[in-house]
Amino acid sequence: MKHAVKLVSAAVALTLCAVGGWLHDRAAAATATTAAASSPKARRDAGASTRGPRAQPVSVGVVQQRDMPVTLDAVGTITASNTAVVHAKVSGELKALYFAEGRPVRAGQVLALIDPQPFAIALEQAQGQLSRDQAQLRNAQLDLERYRALIDKDAAPKQQLDTQQALVQQLQGTLLADQAAVDNARLQLSYTRVLAPISGLAGLKQADLGNVVNPADANGLLSIAQTQPAAVVFAVPDAVLPRIRERLRAGAPLPVEARDRDGKTVLAQGRVASNDNAIDTATGTLKLKALFANADNQLFANQSVHVRLQLDSLPAALTVPAAAVQRGAPGTYVYALNGDGTARLERITVSATDGETTAVQGSLHAGDKVVIDGADRLRDGARVDVAPTR
């Protein structure tokens, strides 16, 4: 019996300890809850829950009013105004080269020298033949004068006079042939100095010193690309053809910018010079050619460039940063800021886009602020927290 009483007493003691621990934990938790509730963050969160949804952080841009170019982007290829493959006009050993590869050359500049000695000898031979025949002609002309004097005195037959006249004419013809031979020999000698037919950039040499070059060599001595001015050929949709032709007929310039492949750096500025005579039915595009002065030789033949063609200009247009324009279920819209720190949805119509700027039509006004970052988290009337401008 005493043993049973001890067991009951021990069980009661354990129960009391467990109840005491539970009461202690509850008191500690209540104390922690009270402390957390009294912290500044908790008070701000509680205040925010009573004021409404948390403000969304956004970045904003400003609506501006300015002239806005209407542009069209395309991909173009630089083409040389003229390209010449320089061939040797006579056969011979290549003695000298007077150009630097990849450097500018002038029209008429001496580019190379072919061994002139064989051609100088040929010229001397032709000149010697000419001198001999000139002497024979002078002698024949003197004989002709003598025969005429004898005929006047009836001291010689007329047939002899006719024969002498024919000889003089024959020698005169020989002199013409001799002179042509001299001129041809002199011309062949001049061909040993290879001249640049056009101005431009010299290509890589296609023959080395000591090689025997011929006019029939397929690659010639070098090629010259005339890149001042440089031309850019690019294709535009046929839908803009009426506007382009209207401006060309009116003599209005169509400015064109040649940019790098990223479209960020302007390499050169020019204008449309001409258009192709037919639309490509496979692509529905028309090829245009623009000319660039290219004074600094930034454009190279066959270079691929990003082309920006200015078709028109919108005067005093309302413009917003392109990042502000949103497209979705309501259509095309932006979020504009109200004075009370909320955002309102404004439906717009896009007129033109030029890089990072978009011309729009709507109820916006110059100076309004529009959301450019964070618009995907907004709704009409949402509270916003504008990030400071860096």
pLDDT tens track for 336-386:
999 898 999 999 999 888 878 899 998 899 999 999 998 888 888 999 998
Fold classification of 56-68+315-386 (topology level)? 2.40.420
Name the 3-class secondary structure at 361. strand
pLDDT tens digits, 205-248: 999 999 999 999 999 999 999 988 999 999 999 888 888 888 88
CA–CA dist 291, 272 (Å, integer)? 6
Q: What is the largest CA-CA distance in the chain?
A: 196
Model's pTM, two decimal places? 0.63
Crossing angle (nearest 10°) for helices 40-51 and 2-37: 70
Q: What is the pLDDT of residue 2?
A: 40
Q: What is the pLDDT of residue 217?
A: 93
Q: Let me know: does 112 contact 97? Beta carbons within 8 Å.
A: yes
pLDDT tens digits, 63-85: 999 988 888 889 999 999 889 99
The CATH number of 72-81+225-313, from 2.40.30.170, 3.40.50.300, 3.40.50.12780, 1.10.645.10, is 2.40.30.170
Q: What is the pLDDT of residue 147?
A: 80
What distances in angstroms separate CA 347 from CA 66, 335, 344, one per listed residue? 20, 9, 10
pLDDT tens digits, 305-341: 999 998 888 888 999 999 999 998 778 999 999 989 8
Q: Sketch the domain layout of the chain as residue ranges.
A: 2-51, 56-68+315-386, 72-81+225-313, 91-213
Q: Let me know: does 294 contact 230? Beta carbons within 8 Å.
A: yes
Which pair of tokens denotes residue 363? 């109820």
pLDDT tens digits, 259-272: 988 888 899 999 99
Q: What is the pLDDT of residue 298?
A: 86
CA–CA dist 19, 14 (Å, integer)? 9
Give the residue ranges of DSSP H helices in the chain: 2-37, 40-51, 117-152, 158-190, 241-249
pLDDT(137) > 60: yes
Q: Is the peptide bond before 229 cis (omega within 30 degrees of 0)?
A: yes
Task: Mark 297-328 as b/e (b = at least 16 C-beta within 10 Å).
Answer: ebbebebebbbbbbbeebeebbbbbebbbbee
pLDDT tens digits, 83-136: 999 999 999 999 999 999 999 999 999 999 999 999 999 999 999 999 999 999
Backbone angles phi, psi at 168, to 5 degrees: -60, -45
- Per-residue confidence band for 52, with pLDDT thresholds at 50, 70 and 90: low
* Bridge partners (DSSP) listed for residue 213: 92
- List the helix and strand counts (H, then E) for the chain: 5, 20
Q: What percent of the chain has pLDDT over 90?
A: 54
Q: What is the pLDDT of residue 196?
A: 96
What average pLDDT does the structure give for the chain? 84
Q: What is the pLDDT of residue 56?
A: 87
CA–CA dist 190, 184 (Å, integer)? 10
CA–CA dist 367, 354 (Å, integer)? 20
Q: Let me know: does 171 contact 133? Beta carbons within 8 Å.
A: yes
Name the 3-class secondary structure at 339. coil
Q: What is the pLDDT of residue 329?
A: 79
Which residues, 6+ apart, have CB-to-CB distance to 315 below 8 Å? Answer: 67
Q: For the beta carbon of residue 255, count every other beta carbon within 10 angstroms.
A: 16
- Per-residue confidence band for 161, with pLDDT thresholds at 50, 70 and 90: confident
Q: Let me know: does 320 contact 61? Beta carbons within 8 Å.
A: yes
Cα three-residue angle 313-358-366, rounded to 5 degrees = 90
Q: What is the pLDDT of residue 333?
A: 94
First to last CA, the chain: 87
Q: What is the pLDDT of residue 42?
A: 45
- Per-residue confidence band for 389, with pLDDT thresholds at 50, 70 and 90: low
Q: Which own/partner contact pairs does 324-332 have at CB distance under 8 Å and 24+ positions apart?
A: 324/61, 324/358, 324/370, 324/371, 324/372, 324/375, 325/350, 325/358, 325/360, 326/375
